[in-house]
Structures are given as C-alpha cells and as structure tokens.
Structure 1
C-alpha cells in the first residue's frame, strides 16, 4: 500500500498536541521503539586517560609522611614552604592543572614516593 506523505504531513499539522502525543505513544507500542532522543553515555570512572590532552594532579591524601609530601609539593610547584604546607593541609587539592600526561605521571610518582595518595583528573 502506497501512502501519500504530503497528506500525512497535512493531517499532522491540523492535529492537536494531545492527538500527536497519543499517536507517538501508539507508534512506540506498535513498533516497539522509543521516540526519546539518544543520549551519549560517559565512560566509566577514570575514563580513557589517553584521550585527554591535559590533566589536573590532585593530592587526595597526604598520608603519614606529611613533611616529605610538603617538601615534594614545594619542589614541584615552586611555592614557598607555608604555601606548600597550606596546599597539603587543604587536601584534597589540585597541585598542578592543565599539564601533559607525562608531566602529570611524573608528579604523581614523586608525590606517591613521598607517601601521598594522588589522583589524575
């Protein structure tokens, strides 16, 4: 059976919103489909790190060797002792932002070697 597309469109233009809503529901049920727009789903926690251009190195927990971590933060950031201590005391805190993957991994290794827990975001 051939159908007249223009006639169908003309009928739809004259229909009320309620009628169109009922039509959509009937089509969804008849053909087992959904009229909802598809939604992109984000990756799992941690995501695909290789796809990122820049990272933020976050000090999650300074650990028990806080003095070593403060010294490492001071060396990495170039901050003074007091500012580095405040950054460590304020954990979780961003140590460096918008850094390349290699640099982020280097910073993470240094902080973890000092006893800290670090997250790359």
Structure 2
C-alpha cells in the first residue's frame, strides 16, 4: 500500500469543485502550476523571434548619421541604436528577452553614468 507524500487521500473533486477552486485562485491572482506547466516549460523553445543578421557595413553609416542628428547636449542623453528583431514588430529587442544596441559617442562627448541590473550583459 502506498503511504508516501503523494498517495491519494480522498476522492477526486467534482468538476464543479475544481472550477470553483480555479475561480478562487484567479480572484486571488494565483494559478495552479499543473495547469500552465506546459506553457511555462515547453519541451522545445517557442520563440517568435527569427534569426537576423545586422551587417556592420549597414549599421555604421546609420550610427554615424545618428551622431549628426541626435546631439547629446540637446535632448539625447544616450545616442544608441537598438537592434529590433523583424519578427517582433512593436517590441524592442533582438529577442524577447535581450535588448542590444550600439552607443555612439563623438570625440569629447561623455554619456552620463547609469546603473544596470545584475542581469545586464556588458
């Protein structure tokens, strides 16, 4: 006879009891992991991002043009061009979880110091 911690101790709940329980969880801003585990931990990645190559010969002229159009002393605190994955329209990032960009400072310019979270890659 199974008497371990996962041994069943009572009859399974009725469909109505389970629905009421899940409604209560939702009302309390909770979720049952067993109902969302496949979404949170898929067997294979399901990213909408697509591989994309930003070529330096394309980027460099645009970065230099940004130096002409966005002077640091007139509104632009940081002159950075961010990489946007073409498969993620309306979002900012090379992937859903990675923001990457090129900062361009002209001779004599200084960007103000700022902090990053411990997860920031530099």
What is the TM-score of this pair, normalised by structure 1? 0.24
Higher strand share: 1
- Structure having the larger proportion of residues in helix: 1
Query: RCO (CA 8 Å, sep 6+): is it higher in 1 or 2?
Result: 1
Larger radius of gyration: 1
Per the normalisation by structure 2, the TM-score is 0.24
